[in-house]
Structure 1
């Protein structure tokens, strides 16, 4: 299932790229390349912009007509531009003016089509990228799959480098496989600029607000909003989020109109939220809104038996010609890994660079010390 955009205007295509995942969206600047792709793939919708490169949109539509294409087409025209005249009118083509396109309704329509497709593909395989055959990693993957399809707020907690962002993306892909996840590091939200980017602002809301900004909350509509390092949110910003998380309603800065965003919330922290309550850095009513369920991401020390698989996975992707001896694996499994999987991969990356032409990787005390 895919969406084809044929246009040489990058700003036009950017509107779709900000909403849909790359796996769903296929964009073309030349009509010829789109025609080649259409020979092997039938998109759910073909959006044709009158602004094309070397191939005109009239020629493109005529070719589709000659091929007896049944793909629904939306043709975007300029304000005073007449609809094209084709030799035969057998296309499912709908003409709209660029200035009159309702992107919100168009995206909602495409979202509905994706949801129907997702029901049919529900049993398909989705790799998690959370490597490991240990009991605790298997349990984590099962928890993620169980809660992925539920309308609940999921909180991931664990030490740095345990894969919380990977887990958040896995939850997202299982529910919204054709959309982008909206990921935000909460450290950025405590400033005025960060708040404006998050909620959006109206035109003229402040001195440099020369254009309207929809905001990340609106971008997350019908998708996943991932708040990483949620422990870094100020108490003041937590209070600003309460109504949004309770009702989905919010106001942009400088705007009296109330907007609505329906998103799935996933949060992550390096500490348990209950400890943050005791430290008076998190509101209790905020906690109840962000954590319908908790999923603990185990440290690498809790599943040392997965280190050989993790090493194999890293080398397969980054340095296929290198290998690790049995003695070196024992050395890696005996280390404490305070930085967890991220530190392990950093150590492997450094060892690959230091190995030069040598095929078998070596791990010295100096190598671990740099970690």
Structure 2
């Protein structure tokens, strides 16, 4: 089961201050971050500014009925479970709240054990039930992608998944397939495929169709009948291959290479690319008619740098995946969040796997993270050029320079002072001024 973030954010809509403060205290002790709204208007204001992973909603509020607010909550927070709490529960209220989209209904007074168990199950249900088959994360960006996945899964629309390498485009494709109920998932990576190899893989071939065709082979289209065909890196297809694919998408019919039998395949197409296909259409390197065929719905998967709040959750997920008992310090997690992650989630996964194999001890410090990431200072230096004030930029550079030299000489302050040519007392003063850890 997907691991939950210990800092899941909850919105408590409750006008009774004694009840709201008691609930916040208990829920905070359980690791939740709780915001309180004493009215519907205040709740509406909060959900415009923040994303909440779950909502506890009282029915009787000073400016309206909570039942009437459920629909609005579902629209604003589509994946966040709503648990209704009230001291005046009636059967019709229970029925209507569930019908409007609430996850559960608890009548006051209820035990905290029951509330905590209900909340835990609701969040687990919301975040996904099968480990490894859904994007890990509960940031607003990831929740938006998850909601779109659930909306399009049961349809017959073709889906185009866009995003940088390593963001998890295939994971999104597999999740759509899993929720669609189709029979099988058949994938083909189009990168670096010659036209001949693409056709052989897509259509299959008869024995003797070409020199190395020693037996009949079913193609991906045939195998994907009643299932999902996933074409990864579709932007790499040549104009000739694009034309062949377009013809199949229009008719859903084809023949194996070297054969005359017309085969019909009922497949659902999902494509992915790390390229800007619209720009390719404009420059003429990708067919516009093919683009419209494959892009019934477009899902853009955000890069890791745009959902940095998911990094601790992803680290925890990968640690459990590799059965690795490591503990990251706050400083080390802070450094992971500041890293650019050009390889996105794939790079983070490889980092955690490498650390699990090679790192001695259970605690992972900031220095350990730097060592395993092989951090240079190119990224930090790039930030200096964004500074408008020369004095501030010089101070930042001086701090980075001293930190680098201290690591280079294993924290030997006296040696560093000698190497960089300043008095030892002056170096100690700068270390204190910049808050540098030795």
Do they superpose with TM above 0.5?
yes
Question: Do 2:324 and 2:356's aligned partners in 1 also have CA atoms closer than 8 Å?
Answer: no
- 131, 138, 141: which is aligned to 2:143? 138
Residue in structure 2 matched with residue 70 of structure 1 by the alignment:
none
User: How many angstroms apart in 1 are the aligned matches of 2:283 and 2:196?
Assistant: 25
* Deviation readout 1:107-160 (Å, 9 max, x if unpaired): xxxxxxxxxxxxxxxx9x753420111111011000001001000000000111
Q: Tell me: CA distance 1:190–1:300, structure 2 relative to 1, closer, same or farther (3 Å).
A: same
Question: Do 1:189 and 1:195's aligned partners in 2 also have CA atoms closer than 8 Å?
Answer: no
User: How many angstroms apart in 1 are the aligned matches of 2:334 and 2:288?
Assistant: 45
Residue in structure 1 matched with residue 354 of structure 2 by the alignment:
350
User: How many angstroms apart in 2 are the aligned matches of 1:364 and 1:208?
Assistant: 50
User: How many angstroms apart in 2 are the aligned matches of 1:300 and 1:193?
Assistant: 34
Question: Do 1:126 and 1:174's aligned partners in 2 also have CA atoms closer than 8 Å?
Answer: no
Residue in structure 2 matched with residue 54 of structure 1 by the alignment:
none
User: How many angstroms apart in 1 are the aligned matches of 2:163 and 2:318?
Assistant: 22
User: How many angstroms apart in 1 are the aligned matches of 2:301 and 2:283?
Assistant: 22
Are 2:293 and 1:293 aligned? no
Unaligned runs of 5+ in 2: 1-125, 377-438
Are 2:271 and 1:261 aligned? no
More displaced, 222-231 or 342-351?
A: 342-351
Are 2:328 and 1:338 aligned? no
Query: Secondary structure of 1:156's match?
Result: strand
Cα deviation, residue 370, structure 1:
7.2
CA RMSD between the two structures: 2.0
Query: Secondary structure of 2:356's match?
Result: helix
Question: Do 1:352 and 1:361's aligned partners in 2 also have CA atoms closer than 8 Å?
Answer: no
Cα deviation, residue 279, structure 1:
3.6
Cα deviation, residue 215, structure 1:
1.1
User: How many angstroms apart in 1 are the aligned matches of 2:288 and 2:327?
Assistant: 50
Are 2:328 and 1:324 aligned? yes
- 351, 361, 364: which is aligned to 1:361? 364
Q: Which has the larger radius of gyration?
A: 2
User: How many angstroms apart in 1 are the aligned matches of 2:129 and 2:154?
Assistant: 13
Mapping for residues 87-166 of structure 1, pairs under 5 Å: 126-127=129-130, 128-166=133-171
Mapping for residues 175-324 of structure 1, pairs under 5 Å: 175-176=180-181, 179-187=183-191, 189-324=193-328
* Deviation readout 1:343-366 (Å, 9 max, x if unpaired): 11111222222312x111243434
Runs of 4+ in 1 over 6 A off after TM superposition: none
Are 2:177 and 1:172 aligned? yes
Query: Secondary structure of 1:226's match?
Result: strand
Q: What's the TM-score, normalizing by structure 1?
A: 0.63
Query: Secondary structure of 2:372's match?
Result: helix
User: How many angstroms apart in 2 are the aligned matches of 1:338 and 1:187?
Assistant: 20
Query: How many residues end up aligned between the 2 structures?
Result: 246
More displaced, 305-314 or 193-202?
A: 193-202
Question: Do 2:195 and 2:240's aligned partners in 1 also have CA atoms closer than 8 Å?
Answer: no
Question: Do 2:159 and 2:295's aligned partners in 1 also have CA atoms closer than 8 Å?
Answer: yes
Q: Tell me: CA distance 1:328–1:353, structure 2 relative to 1, closer, same or farther (3 Å).
A: same
Q: What's the TM-score, normalizing by structure 2?
A: 0.54
